[in-house]
Structure 1
Amino acid sequence: MPNQEQFVQFINDNDGILFKVSTLYTNSQVDAQDLRQEMIYQLWRSFGSFSGRSKFSTWMYRVALNTAMVYIKKKKRTITSGIEIDEKLFQRTDVSDNTEEQQIEKLYETIKRLNNLERGIIMLYLENKSYDEIGEIIGFTTTNVGTRISRIKEKLKKLMQNK
């Protein structure tokens, strides 16, 4: 049986990973909370198999990204009866002076237009993970990661110019 106290400590120490993945792979706070719970559940289920050969955060990214991708596939298969409204729209204030904040928001909106794998790779890149670490998390060679990051950057540039 996995050590519950150790698990809780690891989750608390790496909570930013869960926040970033759930925010990047969903469009509403409700979905982000659901995905976060699912990621914690999947982490707990597989915690006993964490061998320590990699850093906990690397393993956590791998589980969180895989869970997010499965969650999205399941979500696409279910038919929603209503329209989801992003609760952030109701919390908006005048942001005319916050151009940097607007640019960051635009970047994240554009990142959400990438496919699931590309989103994960660019998220890890923006987290300043090395190509080696990204490769270990995603399961690609370092060279492949570098190539994909270059292509994703070009794709993001084009998408942002077309907005």
Structure 2
Amino acid sequence: MSQQLESEFIKQLEENQNIVHKICRLYTNDQDAHNDLFQEVTIQLWKAYPKFRGDAKFSTWMYRVALNTAITLYRKSTRRVKTTDYDNVQFKITDLQEDDETAEQLTLLYGAVKQLNDIEKALVFLYLEDKNYKEISETLGISEVNARVKMNRVKTKLTNIINP
């Protein structure tokens, strides 16, 4: 691949890497798994980059590749016996200064999100990223109406998980 293509890719990845880190946090429980998933997503992005035509924004395309990679690896990992380290169940949010009540609410939310299936997690993630339903539908490859319906169902499901 050309030096120019490589430079463009690195620049785009550096500008948008938080997208990948957020997805990694959503689909992993510890730092090693996070690092492994980040590396795998980066590899998949690099492999797919020459085919990126610019029809969508780079960030939208990146969401799609990253989520598909995370979901594929998540599905493979669920075929094995799964154990949970309860010290790692909640997300490690270090850059936010929150009070005890906010921290407790975040812990409840993240615990509930961890119980969702892979598509539902992706929906919640994109919704919390303030993506509109058009962007969500483009990223997940579903219709806008389907994204709205699924999101309403997920909201109900999360409410039932948090308040049984």
Instruction: Answer yes or no: same fold by TM over 0.5.
Output: yes
Distance 2:34 2:48 in 1: 21
Unaligned runs of 5+ in 2: 93-98
Query: Structure 2 CA distance, aligned partners of 1:88 and 1:73?
Result: 19
Shift of residue 8 of structure 1?
1.1
**What is the root-mean-square deviation of aligned Cα atoms in Å?**
2.2
Report the AA paired with residue 150 of structure 1: N
CA distance in 2, matches of 1:7, 1:74: 28
CA distance in structure 2 between the partners assigned to 1:129 and 1:25 by the alignment: 19
In the TM superposition, residue 79 of structure 1 has moved relative to its aligned partner by 5.7
Q: Does 1:45 align with 2:47?
A: yes
SS of the residue 2:136 aligns to: helix
Aligned position for 2:96:
none
Asked if residue 142 in structure 1 is aligned to residue 154 in structure 2, the reply is: no
The amino acid across from 1:74 in the alignment is K
C-alpha separation in 2, matches of 1:79 and 1:154? 29
1:35 aligned partner:
37
Q: Give the TM-score, by structure 2 length.
A: 0.86
What pairs up with 1:91-130 in 2 under 5 angstroms? 97-130=99-132
Do residues 160 (structure 1) and 162 (structure 2) align? yes
Aligned residue in 2 for 1:94: none
Partner of 1:8: 10
Q: In the alignment, which of 57, 60, 63 is matched to residue 58 of structure 1?
A: 60
How does the TM-score come out when normalised to structure 1? 0.87
Gaps of 5+ in 1: 92-96
What number of residue pairs does the alignment pair up?
156
**CA distance in structure 1 between the partners assigned to 2:84 and 2:25 by the alignment:** 18
Contact 1:21–1:64 (CA<8 Å) still a contact in 2? yes
